[in-house]
A and B are shown apart, each in its own frame.
Chain A
Amino acid sequence: GQQLNQSPQSMFIQEGEDVSMNCTSSSIFNTWLWYKQDPGEGPVLLIALYKAGELTSNGRLTAQFGITRKDSFLNISASIPSDVGIYFCAANTNAGKSTFGDGTTLTVKP
């Protein structure tokens, strides 16, 4: 089946540092999404990407839809303590089914 390989699995960084995480797949997708989940809460959408090559920013977050349609990355610049959480990539097929990566757990040390 379709699988997303998300890396890294976890990151421990210092406040102020930049963060980069990515998702890859052997399958082609039409939409890539990045979510953040705080403990005990549902995932919250950060960025949605709809076209191959698209680069989109949301504040300190930047994400790109890979040109091959098989990958995407998320960058967080100048991290702050509230960036702590689990970041998930997700990708949609034409049928609307979403596949999720296993998540990247981010810890930010003040």
Chain B
Amino acid sequence: DSGVTQTPKHLITATGQRVTLRCSPRSGDLSVYWYQQSLDQGLQFLIQYYNGEERAKGNILERFSAQQFPDLHSELNLSSLELGDSALYFCASSATGLAGNTIYFGEGSWLTVV
């Protein structure tokens, strides 16, 4: 158990819909990361937050957005869903988000868009 909690574990939704994925980081960790893993793309970094503020942005679509709240939990919002958005979405956390910090992953949220 990494200490990173993600909900929901599985989600099935229709194209065009919007979903929210939730993440609670490890206790004491200030930085949260979101990743997308699909069969053909591997593990892709989406976005990173540190103490409520966006720190780094990766390959995140404009239809997707995220935020980190004052209690440090984070949400990833996916809107206007397409079939190709079906993937495993991981949240991860680290202590300060700097290069020397290890990143710990949650178990992921399986999203299926039908």
Q: Which residues of A approach B to under 8 Å, CB–CB?
A: 29-31, 33, 35, 40-45, 48, 50, 88, 90, 92-103
State the interface size on chain B (CB cutoff 8 A): 31
Q: Known contacts being A97-B45, A100-B42, is A42 close to B102, with CB within 8 Å?
A: no
B94 to chain A: closest residue by CB:
A96
B102 and A88 contact, CB distance less than 8 A: no
Taken together as a complex, chains A and B put the C-alpha atoms of A40 and B35 apart, in Å, by: 15
Q: DSSP class of B's interface residues: helix, strand, loop or mixed?
A: strand
Other CB < 8 Å A-B pairs besides A98-B103, A99-B45, A100-B44, 11 of them?
A: A42-B4, A43-B43, A45-B103, A50-B100, A94-B99, A96-B99, A97-B56, A97-B58, A100-B43, A100-B45, A101-B42
Q: DSSP class of A's interface residues: helix, strand, loop or mixed?
A: loop
B45 and A42 contact, CB distance less than 8 A: no
Q: Which A residues lie within 8 Å of B42 (CB)? A: 100-103
B90 and A98 contact, CB distance less than 8 A: no
Q: Which of B57-81 contact A (CB under 8 A)?
A: 58
B56 to chain A: closest residue by CB:
A97
B101 to chain A: closest residue by CB:
A96
